[in-house]
Amino acid sequence: MKLSIITIAYNAQETVADAVLSVLSQRCEGFELEYLVIDGASSDGTLEILEPYRHRITLVSEPDKGIYDAMNKGVAMASGDFVGILNADDLYASNDVLQQVVDSLKRSGSDSLYGDLVYVDREDTSKITRRWTSGSFRRNAFLQGWMPPHPTFFVRKSVYDAHGLFSLKLKSAADYELMLRFLFKVKISTTYLQDTLVRMRVGGMSNASLANRWRANREDREAWRMNGVTPYPWTLLFKPLRKVSQLWKR
């Protein structure tokens, strides 16, 4: 099996080294790892920080149309059987994460896999501020506001080829729309790996302000419309409320 990991970066000099090292330090027994870093023509020191790793990564640095355009570039370039995406703010929780992912995918034969995630302090990534425990997959859980954490989502490349990439019509909910499309509408198979796979620094775009949260909620509704499926009246209210319970799992 070949696994492609994509890191999206733009002016990420403060965090990109952590992300890159967390990928390059992974134990890889019985599978091939391809690592692509898609940079949006950073103007800070990001490219200088990446330079020592050029012999171990495939680096593309050019202007793009935002984070989802960069993800689409990475997926289009990927040659692995499965694709995972790790942003420059994030890092894998241990050196065994990708080995666990591959072993689980081999056992299950599933088209995708997801796991758990913890939010961590931006400066001290050992300090957990919130836990996102996904739970076993039930398709109708989407109707109750559920979604898996996208940084833990690994998908067959053939699924992207057959069912499309991230929508550039959405600014902050394209990952939600893609997972809704793949898991709820198309009904690809998936496996829940009950372990913390990713440490995510706090400060996500959709939660940066009430205005952004409202905009994200509108985009969530658009994601259902784009897929020709109808949520329950309470679905999109429950989605942000689920995050409140995560605060009690620190």
Closest CA to 142 of 32, 243, 236: 236
Domain spanning 2-249, CATH architecture: Alpha-Beta Complex (3.90)
Closest CA to 14 of 118, 90, 97: 90
Please, what is the end-to-end C-alpha distance for the chain in angstroms?
Answer: 35
Distance of CA 40 to the CA centre of its chain: 18
**pLDDT value of residue 175:** 97
**pLDDT value of residue 216:** 78
Q: What's the pLDDT tens digit per position in 81-108?
A: 999 999 999 999 999 999 999 999 999 9
- Residue 241's pLDDT band (boundaries 50, 70, 90)? confident
Which is more confidently placed, 79 or 247? Answer: 79
Q: Which amino acid is at 2?
A: K
Place of tokens 């942003």: 87
Element (H, E) at 1: none
- What is the pTM assigned to this prediction? 0.93
**By percentage, how much of the chain surpasses pLDDT 90?**
86
Q: What's the pLDDT tens digit per position in 208-225?
A: 444 566 677 899 999 999
- Residue 249's pLDDT band (boundaries 50, 70, 90)? low
Rounded mean pLDDT, 191-195: 98
Q: What's the pLDDT tens digit per position in 37-46?
A: 999 999 999 9
Distance of CA 195 to the CA centre of its chain: 15
Report yes or no: 130 and 200 within 8 Å, Cβ to Cβ.
no
Q: Which of 28-32, 122-126, 167-171, 232-236 bottoms out in mean pLDDT, i.e. has the lowest?
A: 232-236
Total length of the chain: 250
Tokens of 144: 């109750």
Report yes or no: 63 and 41 within 8 Å, Cβ to Cβ.
yes
**pLDDT value of residue 245:** 58
Strand 112-120 relative to strand 154-156: parallel, antiparallel, unpaired? Answer: antiparallel
Q: Count the neighbouring beta carbons within 10 Å of the beta carbon of residue 106.
A: 12
Q: Where are the domains of the chain?
A: 2-249
Whether the pLDDT of residue 207 is over 80: the answer is no
What average pLDDT is seen over the chain? Answer: 93
**pLDDT value of residue 238:** 84
Listed in sequence order, the residues at least 6 apart from 14 whose beta carbon sits closer than 8 Å to its beta carbon are: none
Rounded mean pLDDT, 166-175: 95
> Torsion-angle region of residue 62: left (phi > 0), alpha (psi -120 to 50) or beta?
beta
* 3-class DSSP assignment, residue 161: helix
Question: What does the alpha-carbon distance between residue 77 and residue 227 come to, in Å, rounded to a whole number?
Answer: 26
Place of tokens 């985009």: 219
Question: What does the alpha-carbon distance between residue 200 and residue 32 come to, in Å, rounded to a whole number?
Answer: 25
Q: What is the CA radius of gyration of the chain?
A: 17
Closest CA to 130 of 235, 203, 210: 203
**pLDDT value of residue 224:** 96
Question: What does the alpha-carbon distance between residue 8 and residue 27 come to, in Å, rounded to a whole number?
Answer: 22
